[in-house]
Amino acid sequence: MIVSPLWRGKSYAVLGLARSGAATVRALLAGGAAVTAWDSDATRRNQILPGTGRGTASLLQAGGGGGAPHSAPLAEAPLHPSPEEVKGPPPRAGEDLTFADPETIDLAGFDALVVSPGVPLNRHPVAATARAAGVSIIGDIELFAQARPALPPHKVVGVTGTNGKSTTVSLIDHILQTAGVPSRLGGNIGLPILEQAPLPEGGVYVLELSSYQIDLTQNLDCDVAVLLNITPDHLDRYDGFDAYAASKARLFAMQSAAHAAIIGIGDTPSAQIARGLSARGEHLTKIAPGVCMDQSRWPSLQGPHNAQNALAAIAVAQALGVPEAAIDAALQSFVGLAHRMERVRVLRGVSYVNDSKATNPESTAPALAAFGRIHWILGGKAKADDLDACAPHFGHVVRAYTIGQAGPRFAEILQGRVPVEQSGDLATAVAAAARGAQPGDSVLLSPACASFDQFRDFEDRGEQFRRAVAQLA
């Protein structure tokens, strides 16, 4: 676990107790801080107790956390304590972990409000509550930045971008491991960095950073910072596309000018950010689109988008001084990630590819470009009302099968451009595609949509695709 001596004696409110939030609570407690935590899901509140190592947890009662432990199960505890129960200072370090909704308590006196990246600060009332109390709003990546001076000497690689982040950080980590460099993955890839064991001297922390995480970070000075691309996404969280792009650019604003910046310049916003960093000279590397590369020896890095991901990872490795031989070996042995152009089966000459992570048209387009004859399964909860980003590759589509809420709209868009049928659900689409596919074809799940209309998340969608394909005879 990564902790900082700076936290000792301080008080933090933590909102959101999923993976990163739970790890944050445990790290803060281990660092000697007092924590008032909350999640609207009672199950998550209950689950955070094992392993905290800080005695009995209590529901925040009179005195802002200084009351006696609550005897009832947390699931039965009131969601909103009365105003009379929440007056007073925050808990002191050394007191039990307390639970209270930060919307209902006086945040004055807390050192920070730590929120999970999923909390929409542009519309969640807790943001105004914290600002009114003069309390900074941060995330777990900022806490990691605070902990860095106490860690053995190391370097940090931060990777952001709309698409390709997970593949790129995983490839960077694989290159470092191949070269014998101690490394640790963390961040948006689903591995909370605070719960990772500290690396020995000379290690490299490789962080996947979403715009939400960057928004909650103030002092992360990456030794190598990477921006892959910027395309419209998450616009419900920002005041327009320019604000979303500005969030990505903050990764470089936090960085020392002498540290390495690597930027893909295949889109206008990213190219503008690169131009703004031109004074860095040799410390700035630009990755141009359409670079001709021999990817034939990299079985898990096919398609033009993976060429960019590979170039970014190579540039990072070179900036860190990794030998070229280790880089070459790692590119060949990299096995790729689940749900990202993952070949799950070849049946009677037909390849079945799980690209469930493609949750917008821009991330689906590279998959369409990577294969010849495609039976394309798409649809879900749409993030965009068009498929314009995919249109240049419609010639690869033998037939499309639409599912979910966006199914009728996408079928309408595709009508007259590619053969299309409305399958409605994933199992129906897989069965129909299997009937129509010929040897040499690919059945591709690349939905260009979020999954939340019919599935728990993109991983659930990908797993259901795998099961449907496995049942084909």
Q: Which two tokens stand for residue 160?
A: 């952001």
Q: Which residue has the tokens 């399964």?
A: 377
Tell me which of 3.20.20.10, 1.20.1070.10, 3.90.230.10, 3.90.190.20 is the CATH number of domain 342-470.
3.90.190.20
- Residue 403 exposure: Cα atoms within 13 Å on the Cβ side: 28
Three-state secondary-structure class, residue 424: strand
DSSP secondary structure of 94-153: TSPPEE--TTTS--TT-SEEEE-TTS-TTT-HHHHHHHHTT--EE-HHHHHHHHGGGSPS
Read off the pLDDT band of 337 (50, 70, 90): confident
pTM for the whole structure? 0.78
Taking only the tens place, the pLDDT of each residue in 241-287 is: 999 999 999 999 999 999 999 999 999 999 999 999 999 999 999 99
- Averaged pLDDT for residues 294-304: 84
Catalytically active residues, by annotation: 165, 188, 234
Taking only the tens place, the pLDDT of each residue in 20-79 is: 999 999 999 999 999 999 999 988 988 886 544 433 344 333 233 333 233 233 333 333
Say what the pLDDT of residue 306 is. Answer: 87
Q: Which two tokens stand for residue 449?
A: 């949509």
Choose between 298 and 221: higher pLDDT. 221
Q: What is the CATH number of domain 5-138?
A: 3.40.50.720
Integer CA distances (angstroms), 331 to 26, 163, 304, 314, 409, in order = 36, 19, 15, 9, 39
Q: What is the CATH number of domain 145-333?
A: 3.40.1190.10
Q: Does 236 score more than 60 pLDDT?
A: yes
To 10 degrees, what angle do helices 426-436 and 458-470 make? 40
Three-state secondary-structure class, residue 209: coil
Say what the pLDDT of residue 89 is. Answer: 55
d(CA 201, CA 455): 43
Segments of the chain assigned to CATH 3.40.1190.10: 145-333
d(CA 101, CA 209): 27
Say what the pLDDT of residue 201 is. Answer: 98
Strand partners, 160: 227
Say what the pLDDT of residue 445 is. Answer: 98
Say what the pLDDT of residue 293 is. Answer: 81
Say what the pLDDT of residue 414 is. Answer: 98
Taking only the tens place, the pLDDT of each residue in 138-180 is: 999 999 999 999 999 999 999 999 988 999 999 999 999 999 9
Taking only the tens place, the pLDDT of each residue in 2-22 is: 999 999 999 999 999 999 999
Read off the pLDDT band of 91 (50, 70, 90): low
Taking only the tens place, the pLDDT of each residue in 106-115 is: 999 999 999 9
- Residue 276 exposure: Cα atoms within 13 Å on the Cβ side: 12
Q: Does 335 score more than 50 pLDDT?
A: yes
Which spans in 193-303 are helix H? 211-215, 241-253, 268-276
